[in-house]
Amino acid sequence: MLKRSSFQLSLFLKRMLILSSLVSFIFIFNSSYLPAQSLRTVKIKIAPDEEFRNDETWPMLIRRLVKDSSNDFEKHFGIRFEINAFDAWLSDNSRETTFELLNDLRKKVPQGDGDIVLGFSSQHRIKHDASGVAAYLQGYIVVRKLEQESAMKLLLKHELLHLFGAADLNERSSIMNGENVGPELDEFTKKIVLLNKHRNFNPSTFPLPKNKLNEAISIYKQRKNLNLGEADIHISLAVIYLEKKDYESTIKECHLATQIDPDLPEPYHLSGIAFRRKGDVDRALREYQKVSRLQPELPELHYNLGIAYAKKKMTDKAIREYRKAIELKPDYAEAHSNLALIYLEKNMVDEAVKECQKALDINPQMARALSTLGGAYFLRKDFTRAEAFSRKALEIDPELDGAHNNLGNIYMNKKMVDRAIGEYQKAFRINPGFAEAHYNLGRAYLFKKSIDKAISEFKAAIKLRSDHYQAHSNLAAAYLEKGLEEQAIKECQRAIEINPDYAHAYANLGQALIKKGMSKNGKAVCLKSIALNPNLPEPHNLLGILLEKEESIEEAKTYYLRAIELKPDYLEAHLNLGNMYFKKDLFPESAFHYKKVVEINPRFAPAYNNLAVVSFYQKNYDLARKYLKKAEDLGFKVHAKLKKEILKKKSP
């Protein structure tokens, strides 16, 4: 958060009471209202619980109820309901409310290939509670068994209307009356259901497309302006405003809803999401705690708590909340995906891959899971798969910042630095608060020796994430390039303060201390770096330099060679080893490493100059002249006396 993360799946709670006196009511539609229209078929998975199945006539009852609703919806909205599957639901007898039964249904019965999951319950424990409940954003309904079939028909239609955007109303004769269901379909409900006719039932996608959000707001606001004290209207507006990223309006509508009914969990949940997205994570957590007191087993609550804790870098708590969300809803793809991202950040690559695969098993088109999987394969150094998954993620969602960041990393690995820069810039244009993209862009600029730009990007990353110890360490490396050893030391110390085990920071600190002439301290810090990470090449190279100065040539050579073993294209180590061999008149060995330098960087002029000198001493004057010319062509100012000597010599 998800890079949002991610999509929000907060429940759209709907409550109603069916009174036995309603059995004689008839569901009345004005059939002249609708023009001829296309037909939409909505597939329903039926899930009766064990108590409901005790009556052997239950299949016929359910078919009659669904057929009755389908006939009316088809006639007046062009919506047909079709039963496409049955699933036995073993409901939890400890549940005390209908909403708790809804959570139980969501936990135990997956949506599968259907659009709506319709649960029927005859739980006797639940008596004085709502007879039905629906989740707009998820497409789940629970209907309780009533004594009279006619009342159940009204109840089912009421809940199905909720799934198409209808709200509980204070309108006496309306079927959407929240207290006493009436026989009529009011004009407001007609409009909002028609707007939602082709709504999406994929729980990972908002029901309405973006081009219909303003129309939905207009319809709800017209109803709101009647000032009838209808909390559901405010909640409906809050849901739409949240999708539009209008967080102030979301919070305002939630506040109005809680003024009407302070015991509704949904307004606190929605306002918590809005506060979190605004950056006020502590306020969000306070709102979520209110939800927890009212609906502690709401899967989306724990999912959003996971996002909030992740933002506060409380990763253990975030993991616990994501796992709780998955426990409550095993097919919660977004929770699996976010958990994978946490594991990836903790370098738990195998766990990240497993969670991504679970998310993609549920929703193969989940772009964020594909992007995280790309990041995991990058860490596994499987760059082909990393690129494939990142590109697939961008095919689904071109605005996915993490996938662009992945591609930038892949291009950096290929030394395609300009293309990497382009991907990093796309990432933080999409998400200006993406600290990692600024950090990676800084690394790319540092590689190109665009030091001022690198410093700017590292500072941007630190501004967004003050605990970004890698950015502090790399900022130190950039300062070292500019000869600012004091600033470099401060940044290294800050990085070590945040993460005392970060070997790179010790390596940069060692370099800064050596440059300041504090060789003894520098040597100790480099040894500390190697102790923390024996596979880090930079401190080996630095120790080689120090040992060479101490005339411990063989030991220095060992460290240089180890640095090259760890990083075969380590230009500085090849150059240092070449220089050391030259000082010992070991010209073939020296030439070998200088040639490696120009293979790594064909525009590194000093290496050509050094090769010219080596060739001169080897009496290969033609080759010396060739290397000398190359050095000069690249702008290197060669020693005048050396040039004169090389030019007057003739190869034997």
Q: Would 284 be classed as within a structural domain?
A: no
- Which pair of structure tokens corresponds to residue 260? 């009407």
Q: What is the mean pLDDT of residues 310-322?
A: 96
pLDDT surpassing 80 at residue 490: yes
Which residue did the predictor score with more confidence, 8 or 299? 299
Claim to verify: residue 434 and residue 574 sit in the same structural domain? yes
pLDDT surpassing 90 at residue 179: no
Q: Which of 537, 564, 536, 560 is nearest to 548 (CA)?
A: 560
Q: Would 395 be classed as within a structural domain?
A: yes
Structural domain span for residue 441: 367-581
Q: What is the pLDDT of residue 17?
A: 32
Claim to verify: residue 524 and residue 645 sit in the same structural domain? no
Q: Using a CB cutoff of 8 Å and minimum separation of 24, what contacts does 460-463 make?
A: 460/435, 461/435, 461/436
Q: What is the pLDDT of residue 1?
A: 27
pLDDT surpassing 50 at residue 9: no
Claim to verify: residue 574 and residue 614 sit in the same structural domain? no
Which residue did the predictor score with more confidence, 58 or 204? 58
- Which pair of structure tokens corresponds to residue 68? 């009755």
Check: CB of residue 7 under 8 Å from CB of residue 204.
yes
- Which pair of structure tokens corresponds to residue 233? 């209207």
CA 341/CA 375 separation, integer angstroms: 9
Q: Which of 527, 551, 581 is the last residue of a domain?
A: 581
Claim to verify: residue 625 and residue 507 sit in the same structural domain? no
Q: Which of 550, 581, 612 is the last residue of a domain?
A: 581
Which residue did the predictor score with more confidence, 651 or 230? 230
Q: What is the pLDDT of residue 43?
A: 97
Claim to verify: residue 16 and residue 96 sit in the same structural domain? yes
pLDDT surpassing 80 at residue 419: yes
Encode pLDDT of 374-394 as tens digits: 999 999 999 999 999 999 999
Buried/exposed code over 324-340 (b: 16+ C-beta within 10 A; e: otherwise): bbbebbbbbbbbbbbbb
pLDDT surpassing 90 at residue 504: yes
Q: Which of 419, 418, 424 is nearest to 404 (CA)?
A: 424
Encode pLDDT of 266-297 as tens digits: 999 999 999 999 999 999 999 999 999 999 99
- What's the structural domain count of the chain? 3
What is the side-by-side order of every strand in the sheet holding 40-48? 79-86, 40-48, 116-121, 140-144, 132-135
Claim to verify: residue 51 and residue 138 sit in the same structural domain? yes
Encode pLDDT of 616-646 as tens digits: 999 999 999 999 999 999 999 988 888 888 8
Q: Would 277 be classed as within a structural domain?
A: no
CATH code for the domain of 81: 3.40.390.10
pLDDT surpassing 50 at residue 154: yes
pLDDT surpassing 90 at residue 36: no
Q: What is the mean pLDDT of residues 440-450?
A: 96
Q: Would 339 be classed as within a structural domain?
A: no
Claim to verify: residue 432 and residue 484 sit in the same structural domain? yes
Q: What is the mean pLDDT of residues 113-136?
A: 89
Concatenating the DSSP letter of every residue in 384-440 gives: HHHHHHHHHHHHH-TT-HHHHHHHHHHHHHTT-HHHHHHHHHHHHHH-TT-HHHHHH
Q: What is the pLDDT of residue 602?
A: 95
Q: Would 390 be classed as within a structural domain?
A: yes
What backbone phi and psi angles, to 5 degrees, belong to 84? -115, -10
Claim to verify: residue 432 and residue 575 sit in the same structural domain? yes
DSSP 8-state assignment for residue 448: T
| Helix (H) or strand (E) segment spanning residue 80 | strand 79-86
Claim to verify: residue 468 and residue 611 sit in the same structural domain? no
pLDDT surpassing 60 at residue 542: yes
CA 324/CA 628 separation, integer angstroms: 68
Q: Would 278 be classed as within a structural domain?
A: no
**Which residue type, as a one-letter code, is found at position 31?**
S
Q: Would 195 be classed as within a structural domain?
A: no
Q: What is the pLDDT of residue 183?
A: 86
Q: What is the mean pLDDT of residues 413-439?
A: 95
Check: CB of residue 112 under 8 Å from CB of residue 130.
no
If you average pLDDT over every residue of the chain, what do you get? 91
Alpha-carbon distances, residue 547 vs 277, 552, 587 (angstroms): 53, 5, 21
DSSP 8-state assignment for residue 36: P
Q: What is the pLDDT of residue 26?
A: 44
Encode pLDDT of 222-244 as tens digits: 999 999 999 999 999 999 999 99
pLDDT surpassing 90 at residue 120: yes
Claim to verify: residue 557 and residue 645 sit in the same structural domain? no
Q: Which of 127, 148, 170 is the last residue of a domain?
A: 170
Claim to verify: residue 570 and residue 615 sit in the same structural domain? no
pLDDT surpassing 90 at residue 178: no
Reported confidence tier of residue 127, pLDDT bands at 50, 70, 90: low
Q: What is the pLDDT of residue 20?
A: 29
Percent share of the chain, pLDDT over 90: 87
Q: What is the pLDDT of residue 356?
A: 97
Claim to verify: residue 413 and residue 559 sit in the same structural domain? yes
**Beta pairing partners, 184:** 28, 174
Q: What is the pLDDT of residue 182?
A: 84
pLDDT surpassing 60 at residue 362: yes
Supply the pTM of this predicted model: 0.81
Q: Would 273 be classed as within a structural domain?
A: no
